[in-house]
């Protein structure tokens, strides 16, 4: 059985066990800046080409990494938008349409097949991938714009494509520097060198350590971040963590047995873990989102379920997504550090 030792979160030896993971998180902003700088000329050329052509009939985000683009573009894109994560394209996609592809590692055969199909059909194509990769080899075509990447970071790769789409008025404002700054701010606030008392990610890890995390984000992007954080918590702890929309999350909160001050916390080994509600708040001003959050908060209060909120003051939608995601990922790593098996230290 595992238990949580919060003293490990300020122990340099224990933190050393996840040093590489924490460094990777801390370098997220630098990766975004580096990719944006290296691809700046290619993005500029693609913008010029896009402005010369007519606005596409539709935008198709192809490949397994298309879900992030969907979360950003679907509420905003002024033309029909389709995310197509399979190894092909919709049957109707053709020369009037724009196909965008994220391929951070560039080696997926299914993505390469989708890119080759888009080129064959005469689609406008934007591909972000490493030069010389399998996907790049299949992207050669008259209407193809290749945005070169050097890392396998999905977010940094996505920012390149989103900057391009923003400048040709097919996506929301996306600024690489704003995204990088938001990630740097989280890295400073959640640094392993900051002790528990002033480190929000360590505090969140402690709050979730004895609970079953139930995550909710109201906007499309916040919901995407919630799912990613839940995945990270599951990997880090080997425990259940659930993310979903309000209709999926609310029954889990309402099913919690009301807390009784006379309960023995040590009876039956401590009993089953109670849910803890984690709300990812990206500042959405949508009235429906506010109403849903209120329902969840009221249900949590009625059942004595702990409520935690991750917030952000980042400048743009993508920057707010990056900030929420990074905070959650840091918390997952600190959860990994604090959990120890019986008899181990």
Residue-range domain boundaries for the chain: 2-29+179-340, 40-148
pLDDT greater than 90 at residue 262: no
Any residues with CB less than 8 A from the CB of 294 and at least 6 apart, and which?
none
Name the CA dihedral angle for 286, 289, 291, 295, rounded to a multiple of 10 degrees: -170
- Asked whether the domain spanning 40-148 has the same topology as the one spanning 2-29+179-340, the reply is yes
pLDDT greater than 60 at residue 255: yes
What superfamily would CATH give domain 2-29+179-340? Glucose-6-phosphate isomerase like protein; domain 1 (3.40.50.10490)
- pLDDT grade for 87, boundaries at 50, 70 and 90: confident
Q: For residue 268, what pLDDT is reported?
A: 47
User: CA–CA separation, 201 vs 331, rounded Å?
Assistant: 4
> What number is the average pLDDT over the span 255-270?
62
**pLDDT tens digits, 181-200:** 999 999 999 999 999 999 99
Among 28, 11, 68, CA closest to 329: 28
pLDDT greater than 90 at residue 51: no
* Strand ranges, E, within 130-264: 144-148, 211-217, 242-243
Sheet bearing 144-148, strands edge to edge: 81-84, 59-62, 98-102, 124-129, 144-148
Domain 40-148 has CATH 3.60.150.10: no
In this structure, are residues 73 and 119 in contact, taking their beta carbons and an 8 Å threshold? no
β-pairing verdict for 81-84 and 124-129: unpaired
User: CA–CA separation, 12 vs 9, rounded Å?
Assistant: 8
pLDDT greater than 60 at residue 10: yes
pTM: 0.92
């Amino acid at each position: 059985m595992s238990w949580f030792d919060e003293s490990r979160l300020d122990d340099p030896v224990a933190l050393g066990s996840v040093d590489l993971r924490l460094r990777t998180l801390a370098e997220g902003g630098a990766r975004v800046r580096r990719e944006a700088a290296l691809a700046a000329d290619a993005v500029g050329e693609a913008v010029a080409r896009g402005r010369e052509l007519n606005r596409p009939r539709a935008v198709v985000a192809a490949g397994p990494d298309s879900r992030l683009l969907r979360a950003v573009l679907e509420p905003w894109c002024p033309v029909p938008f389709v995310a197509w994560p399979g190894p092909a394209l919709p049957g109707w996609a053709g020369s009037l349409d724009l196909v965008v592809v994220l391929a951070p590692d560039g080696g997926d055969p299914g993505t390469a097949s989708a890119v080759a199909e888009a080129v064959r059909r005469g689609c406008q194509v934007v591909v972000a991938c490493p030069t010389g990769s399998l996907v790049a080899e299949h992207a050669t075509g008259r209407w193809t714009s290749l945005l070169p990447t050097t890392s396998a970071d999905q977010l940094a790769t996505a920012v390149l494509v989103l900057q391009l789409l923003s400048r040709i008025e097919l996506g929301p404002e996306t600024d690489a520097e704003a995204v990088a700054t938001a990630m740097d701010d989280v890295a400073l606030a959640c640094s392993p060198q900051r002790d528990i008392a002033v480190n929000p990610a360590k505090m969140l890890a402690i709050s979730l350590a004895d609970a079953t995390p139930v995550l909710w984000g109201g906007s499309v992007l916040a919901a995407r971040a919630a799912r990613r954080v839940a995945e990270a918590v599951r990997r880090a702890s080997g425990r259940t963590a659930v993310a979903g929309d309000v209709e999926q999350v609310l029954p889990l909160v309402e099913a919690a047995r009301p807390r009784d001050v006379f309960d023995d916390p040590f009876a039956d080994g401590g009993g089953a873990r109670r849910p803890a509600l984690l709300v990812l708040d990206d500042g959405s001003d949508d009235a429906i989102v506010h109403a849903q959050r209120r329902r969840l908060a009221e249900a949590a209060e009625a059942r004595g379920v702990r409520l935690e909120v991750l917030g952000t003051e980042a400048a743009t939608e993508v920057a707010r997504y990056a900030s929420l995601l990074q905070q959650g990922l840091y918390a997952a790593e600190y959860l990994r550090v604090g959990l120890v098996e019986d008899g181990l230290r």
